[in-house]
């Protein structure tokens, strides 16, 4: 029996498969490294990878999230084996690639009615967007710059930007005020503040460890920016239960820190696996419907791209559906700006990314009106008002939620 087979319970499925292929090669390249996430036991004193083992010149620490007991690294199989013998190491996961979940909505979901009736615009509430960055689009910075924070884990730049374009689109679906459209393309929370956390690169991809670092940044800075909501319109197909999946566990930590976590279900179609971290039962996972560009729900159909599970743990997800055909801001000069040229300043896209953003905007309205609500209270309230939408699934509207809140 090979060493990695002996430790199968402490290695995720994807890493096991990679090691199987590695040892089937003849001759094996002993200098080859694998991107991994080292999970440490709770209450460990370990702070750096060098505290666990001496590194070879081609091995490196790629991420350090000590507050969550994770260290990202590129290691040889021999070093992985040695680390599993270390008493501080609990598990080792592959550092897989996370991707952006992108493949009439504000009135349809009821956010416009709530804004008109109660004057709720998300003012005073901050939403963190862990994504590809946020560009200073006019809908987000006019007449006041509402991008109040920015952290770049890709290039360490300090000025907000978005070379991919996905993050700006998502931010606009949450909090765009329609400045360049005469108010036509206005999101649910047009006065909410934004914190951009860039983890996805120009291609809309990132290793899991970088996304976890972004989530940790949000948790550590929640008080400084009054962050109440974390939008995660990204994910990857999980190979293990949410109980041990590092990204799902990081998302749960944010919920425990009283940050309302909204995740895209994924765009792999009916029966497709719900992506991580959306497969965690505690976060809010959103699917997308086609609203046919009408306010009425009577003609709505589920967007075929939406992943509907069940999850790898056999759980029913997404939690509910909202419109996913959305118009949002275009980041000038970005990849998406070059790909989608039908509008000069906006993108019209179908995705669970936009659907999740819509829910984040609705959450900002709620927290403006009820700032003492916890994240778990809000999720419970949302689940109370979903309207049946096909077998086993529900449709969420902000109108129904505020009827409940004011009953």
Q: 273 with 312: CB under 8 angstroms?
A: yes
Strand ranges (E), 105-226: 126-131, 147-152, 193-198, 205-207
Say how many CA atoms lie within 13 Å of 328 toward its Cβ.
33
Q: 249 with 212: CB under 8 angstroms?
A: no
12, 95, 131, 300: the catalytic one is 131
- DSSP helix/strand/coil, 94: strand
304 Cβ contact list (under 8 Å, min separation 6): 269, 270
93, 137, 166, 280: the catalytic one is 166
Question: Which of 373, 371, 284 is CA-nearest to residue 320?
Answer: 284
SS3 for 177-190 is ECHHHCCCCECCCC
37 Cβ contact list (under 8 Å, min separation 6): 63, 70, 71, 72, 73, 92, 93, 94, 95, 208, 209, 212, 246
Q: Is 131 a catalytic residue?
A: yes
Q: Is 86 a catalytic residue?
A: no
Say how many CA atoms lie within 13 Å of 128 toward its Cβ.
31
209, 353, 360, 375: the catalytic one is 353
What per-residue string of b and e applies to 35-45 under the rule 16 or more CB within 10 Å gives b?
bbbbbbeeebe
Query: Angle CA(269)–CA(272)–CA(278) in degrees, nearest 5?
Result: 105
Q: Is 280 a catalytic residue?
A: no
CA distance 391 to 127: 32
Q: What is the CA radius of gyration of the chain?
A: 21
CA distance 371 to 386: 22
Residue 155 main-chain phi, psi, to 5 deg:
-125, 0
CA distance 288 to 280: 18
- End-to-end Cα spacing for the chain: 64
Structure token digits, residue 341: 């040229």
Which of the residues are catalytic? Answer: 131, 166, 353
């Amino acid at each position: 029996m090979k060493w990695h087979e002996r430790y199968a319970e402490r290695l995720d499925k994807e890493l096991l498969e990679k090691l199987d292929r590695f040892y089937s090669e003849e001759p094996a390249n002993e200098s080859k490294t694998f991107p991994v996430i080292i999970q440490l036991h709770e209450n460990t004193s370990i702070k750096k990878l060098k505290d666990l083992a001496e590194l070879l010149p081609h091995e490196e620490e790629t991420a350090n999230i000590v507050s969550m007991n994770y260290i990202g690294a590129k290691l040889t199989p021999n070093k992985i084996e040695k680390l599993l013998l270390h008493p501080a190491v609990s598990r080792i996961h592959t550092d897989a690639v996370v991707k952006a979940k992108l493949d009439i909505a504000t009135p349809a979901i009821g956010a416009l009615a709530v804004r008109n009736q109660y004057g709720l615009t998300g003012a005073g509430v901050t939403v963190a967007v862990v994504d590809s960055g946020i560009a200073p689009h006019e809908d987000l910075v006019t007449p006041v710059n509402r991008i109040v924070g920015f952290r770049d884990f890709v290039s360490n730049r300090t000025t907000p930007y978005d070379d991919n374009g996905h993050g700006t689109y998502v931010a606009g679906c949450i909090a765009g005020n329609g400045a360049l459209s005469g108010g036509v393309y206005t999101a649910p929370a047009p006065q909410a503040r934004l914190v951009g956390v860039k983890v996805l690169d120009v291609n809309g991809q990132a290793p899991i460890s970088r996304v976890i670092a972004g989530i940790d940044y949000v948790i550590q800075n929640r008080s400084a920016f009054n962050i109440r909501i974390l939008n995660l319109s990204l994910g990857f197909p999980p190979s293990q239960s949410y109980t041990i999946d590092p990204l799902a566990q990081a998302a749960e930590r944010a919920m425990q820190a009283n940050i309302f976590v909204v995740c895209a279900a994924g765009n792999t179609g009916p029966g497709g696996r719900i992506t991580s971290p959306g497969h965690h039962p505690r976060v809010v996972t959103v699917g997308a419907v086609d609203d046919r560009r009408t306010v009425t729900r009577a003609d709505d159909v589920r967007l075929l791209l939406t992943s509907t599970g069940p999850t790898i743990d056999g759980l029913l997800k997404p939690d509910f559906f909202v419109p996913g055909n959305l118009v949002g801001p275009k980041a000038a000069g970005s990849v998406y700006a070059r790909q989608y040229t039908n509008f000069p300043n906006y993108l019209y896209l179908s995705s669970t990314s936009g659907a999740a953003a819509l829910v984040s905007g609705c959450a900002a309205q709620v927290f403006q009106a009820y700032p003492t609500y916890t994240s778990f209270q809000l999720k419970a309230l949302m689940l109370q008002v979903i309207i049946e939408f096909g077998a086993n699934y529900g449709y969420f509207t902000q109108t129904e939620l505020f009827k409940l809140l004011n009953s």
